């Protein structure tokens, strides 16, 4: 028997005791190996937990969790578990695909852009604090999502996380907490949370909406869970409406439209329903009551003009820096130098496409669009194969098609809402990409007969 791990662990605990002589060290030393063993058994769950806390900001939704440093603990656990399974146990079957190649090329372009960023410390901080984690976790989820049970677990956890955030948002709306412009709901605005911006909050809520709706159309689930999925979807929509984000509303319409297109036979009825639903959503959201972008502003409203000025600035950034852009997370600090309109403050770009253009240049935007087209093209091929298998009666897990719909609807929502929401360097697209890569591999390996 090899006693060296035990001896090494004892020495480490002893050194910690010398530095921090506290009785809890002994308790922690006894519990830590048990926790470590259990964590190692569930690498996929650990990685999903890290993504959920990093993206949904659960520790900011519930500030009481802040002192526990859960995202940091999950980050360490994720890296440790991945390292263990990849290099020690070697039981994770890695693979590569065209989409991961384009993703890596884009990541390298962003990395090079950091070196040439006008505000290099800011770019480095965002790269090391967020983007490199996105790259690592995207690869991990692509390799760890193997079976329908993994797809269903992700769907359930994302849906429940979205519901929790939406419920807190609705509670804040009802109690008048952290409202922007008097009507737009936020979370954690008083302590600078990412969710303190209504547009960012709507983005966070938009991501799980397609997953929640996919539960409704999963024939393999119980009626209770399908009904629960419908309730969760309704709660998430209500949360998005409370943000009064036009990008969020467009995202909702995209998700509903995608599912309806594949479920409703009469396309004329579908178009008519969409024409009726959109005004209802606009009224329910109270867009006309917004201080910016409301009915009180004539012509092109102030909010829209602000975006136009920002988009012009992004184009100028790319023209001057076509290969690298101004650098990751550098749009805002460069706004003054490139904008044709200055109102005394820097502004965010509020567009995925122009954000990528300004911060990575024409080359970066081209690679990103190529990656997106590659994902959509292959998802369509996967959908064609799934439909063919269903028609031929080939064995197929009932979870697969709704999950495929969720990813395709999520990407459709990303493309549409990206006009108003900045998502180029945040979690949603990359999680959708990694789950899509895993699902496409799974479907590609299915036997058609």
Measured over all CA atoms, what is the biggest interatomic distance in the chain, rounded to whole angstroms?
80
Q: Does residue 93 belong to any structural domain of this protein?
A: no
Q: What are the beta bridge partners of residue 184? A: 180
CA atoms within 13 A on the CB side of 425: 29
**SS3 category, 3:** coil
* Two structure tokens written together for 380: 């369509």
CA proximity to 53, closest of 42, 62, 40? 62
Residue 247 and residue 199 in contact, taking contact as beta carbons nearer than 8 Å: yes
Give the domain range for residue 145: 98-290+310-444
In eight-state DSSP terms, residue 117 is -
What is 217-232 written as a DSSP string? Answer: T-TTS-HHHHHHHHHH
Q: Does residue 430 belong to any structural domain of this protein?
A: yes
| Positive or negative: CA dihedral 38, 40, 44, 46 | positive
The separation between the first and the last C-alpha atoms of the chain, rounded to the nearest angstrom, is: 49
Using CA atoms, how far residue 289 sits from 181, 189, 231, 275, 292, in Å, is: 10, 21, 27, 21, 9
How confident is the model at residue 297, as a pLDDT?
42
Say how far apart CA 421 and CA 201 lie, in whole Å: 10
How confident is the model at residue 76, as a pLDDT?
85
CA proximity to 137, closest of 39, 37, 54? 54
Q: Does residue 280 belong to any structural domain of this protein?
A: yes
How confident is the model at residue 296, as a pLDDT?
41
Q: Does residue 390 belong to any structural domain of this protein?
A: yes
Q: Does residue 12 belong to any structural domain of this protein?
A: no
**SS3 category, 180:** strand
* Burial 181-215, CB ≥16 within 10 A → b, else e: eebbbbbbbeeebbbbbbbbbbbbbbbbbbbbbbb
Q: Does residue 146 belong to any structural domain of this protein?
A: yes
Domain count for the chain: 1
Q: Does residue 327 belong to any structural domain of this protein?
A: yes
Say how far apart CA 219 and CA 402 lie, in whole Å: 9
Residue 215 and residue 225 in contact, taking contact as beta carbons nearer than 8 Å: yes
CA proximity to 439, closest of 402, 405, 412, 400? 400
Say how far apart CA 150 and CA 277 lie, in whole Å: 34
The rounded average pLDDT for each run of 10 residues, N- to C-terminus, in the chain (449 residues) is 53 62 59 60 91 95 90 87 87 93 98 95 96 96 94 96 97 95 93 92 95 93 94 96 91 91 72 68 60 45 78 96 96 92 83 96 98 97 94 89 96 91 93 97 87
What is 256-277 written as a DSSP string? Answer: HHHHHHHH-S-HHHHHHHHHHH
Residue 88 and residue 36 in contact, taking contact as beta carbons nearer than 8 Å: no
How confident is the model at residue 67, as a pLDDT?
87
In degrees, rounded to 5, the angle at the alpha carbon of residue 148 between the alpha carbons of residues 142 and 151 is 50
Q: Does residue 72 belong to any structural domain of this protein?
A: no
Helix runs in 42-131, H state only: 43-56, 58-61, 70-83, 98-115, 120-126
């Amino acid at each position: 028997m090899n006693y060296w791990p035990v001896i090494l662990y004892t020495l480490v605990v002893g050194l910690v005791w010398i530095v921090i002589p506290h009785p809890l060290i002994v308790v922690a030393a006894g519990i830590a190996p048990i926790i470590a063993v259990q964590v190692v058994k569930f690498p996929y769950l650990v990685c999903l937990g890290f993504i959920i806390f990093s993206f949904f900001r659960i520790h900011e939704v519930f500030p009481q969790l802040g002192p526990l440093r859960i995202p940091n603990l999950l980050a360490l656990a994720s890296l440790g578990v991945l390292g263990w399974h990849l290099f020690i146990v070697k039981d994770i079957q890695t693979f590569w695909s065209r989409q991961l190649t384009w993703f890596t090329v884009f990541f390298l372009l962003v990395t090079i852009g950091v070196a040439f960023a006008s505000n290099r410390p800011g770019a480095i901080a965002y790269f090391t604090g967020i983007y490199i984690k996105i790259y690592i976790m995207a690869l991990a989820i692509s390799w760890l999502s193997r079976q329908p049970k993994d797809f269903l677990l992700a769907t359930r956890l994302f849906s429940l996380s979205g519901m929790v955030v939406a419920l807190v948002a609705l509670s804040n709306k009802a109690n008048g907490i952290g409202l922007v412009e008097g009507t737009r709901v936020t979370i954690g605005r008083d302590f600078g949370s990412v969710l303190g911006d209504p547009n960012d909050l709507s983005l966070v809520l938009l991501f799980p909406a397609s997953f929640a709706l996919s539960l409704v159309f999963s024939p393999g689930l119980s009626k209770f869970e399908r009904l629960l999925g419908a309730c969760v979807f309704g709660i998430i929509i209500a949360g998005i409406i409370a943000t009064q984000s036009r990008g969020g509303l467009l995202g909702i319409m995209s998700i509903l439209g995608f599912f309806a297109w594949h479920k409703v036979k009469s396309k004329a009825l579908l178009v008519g329903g969409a024409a009726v639903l959109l005004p209802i959503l606009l009224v329910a959201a109270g867009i006309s009551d917004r201080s910016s972008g409301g009915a009180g502003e004539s012509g092109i409203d102030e909010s829209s003009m602000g975006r136009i000025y920002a988009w012009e600035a992004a184009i100028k950034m790319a023209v001057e820096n076509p290969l690298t852009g101004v650098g990751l997370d550098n749009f805002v600090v460069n706004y003054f130098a490139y904008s044709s309109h200055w109102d005394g403050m820097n502004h965010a770009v509020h567009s995925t496409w122009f954000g990528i253009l300004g911060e990575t240049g024409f080359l970066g935007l081209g690679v990103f669009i190529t990656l997106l087209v590659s994902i959509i093209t292959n998802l369509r091929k996967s959908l064609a194969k799934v439909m063919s298998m269903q028609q031929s009666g080939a064995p197929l897990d009932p979870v697969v098609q709704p999950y495929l719909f969720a990813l395709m609807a999520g990407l459709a929502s990303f493309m549409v809402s990206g006009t108003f929401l900045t998502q180029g360097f945040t979690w949603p697209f990359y999680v959708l990409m990694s789950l899509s890569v895993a699902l496409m591999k799974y479907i590609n390996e299915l036997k058609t007969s």
